[in-house]
Amino acid sequence: MLLHLKKWIGSTSLFGTLLLITSQANASSEALRQDDFVGISFWIISMALIASTVFFFLERDRVSPKWKTSLTVSGLVTLIAAVHYFYMRDVWVATGSTPTVFRYIDWLITVPLLMIEFYLILSAIAKVPVGVFWRLMIGTLVMLIGGYLGEAGYADVWIAFIVGMVGWFYILYEIFAGEASKINAASAPKSVQSAFSTMRLIVTFGWAIYPIGYFFGYLTGASPADSANALNIIYNAADVLNKIAFGLIIWSVAVSESEKSLKA
């Protein structure tokens, strides 16, 4: 009885917090036009991120303790992104301009958390050197800083694009051929190896959407309005895949491994 009461209090607190965030973020919303497809995409992903946050936090009760941190991080990623998407949506709807600063503040927090997930799922099944964590962080920061300098106008867009790509390739090397990949191959059970492989595919193909968005936003020579539309729709689509799907992979392996441990 006491356990159920604690769960109920925890869930109501979560819902209350999310409702408060939603109401505050919506307080200054402008009217959304039915032909504003970029604005509509901001609305869709903000709602999807809130729903995902609730799901990940509630599902923590289904998994064993060693997987709870991974699900918590997944929920934090979608929660942080949802809050930023409320503000990005308002900037776009009110001004029609790209919310670059809000987007990169979001990425500066959530992308390192996504990289931490690689470290966490490996740490749940093996002892992982801290160097793996720091190499993933360095690659992430190089990628993000390069992209921001180009989009904010602090550096040549081509040079910044190349710097960001170098950071991304460094991450790919670590998860495909570096120490993280070797630990996964040597120590992880099949379910974790499968999740690790799927996460690598998201970082490879899902994250490839971001350079495509950057290219269409700054390097095609199209009109500013067309460039802004393409940039934001592509970035929004990428965030749906890379934040929510990434968390669902973590959830799937966490539930699978927890159920196996209960049967053992």
Residue by residue, DSSP assigns 119-136 as HHHHHTTS---HHHHHHH
Q: Residue 32's pLDDT is what?
A: 78
Q: Which of 52, 168, 174, 180 is nearest to 120 (CA)?
A: 180
In a domain, 121, yes or no: yes
8 belongs to a structural domain: no
pLDDT at 1: 45
Predicted TM-score (pTM) of this structure: 0.85
> Please, what are the averages of pLDDT over each run of 10 residues along the chain (264 residues)?
46 58 55 86 94 95 88 95 94 92 96 88 79 91 95 95 95 90 83 83 90 92 90 94 90 86 69
The answer to whether 223 touches 232, Cβ cutoff 8 Å, is no
Residue 119's CATH number:
1.20.1070.10
Report the pLDDT value the prediction gives residue 3, as an integer from 0 to 100.
44
- pLDDT for 124 equals 73
Domain that holds residue 45: 37-249
Place of tokens 């946050």: 53
Asked whether residue 6 is assigned to any structural domain, the reply reads no
Specify the number of domains making up the chain. 1
Vertex 59: Cα angle to 56 and 61 (nearest 5): 135
- Say if 116 falls within a structural domain: yes
Q: Can you give the pLDDT at residue 126?
A: 76
Within a domain: residue 221? yes
Residue 77 domain-assigned (yes or no): yes
- pLDDT at residue 9 in the model: 45
**Residues 6 or more apart in contact with residue 8 via CB below 8 angstroms:** none
Q: Do the domain assignments include residue 182?
A: yes
In a domain, 90, yes or no: yes
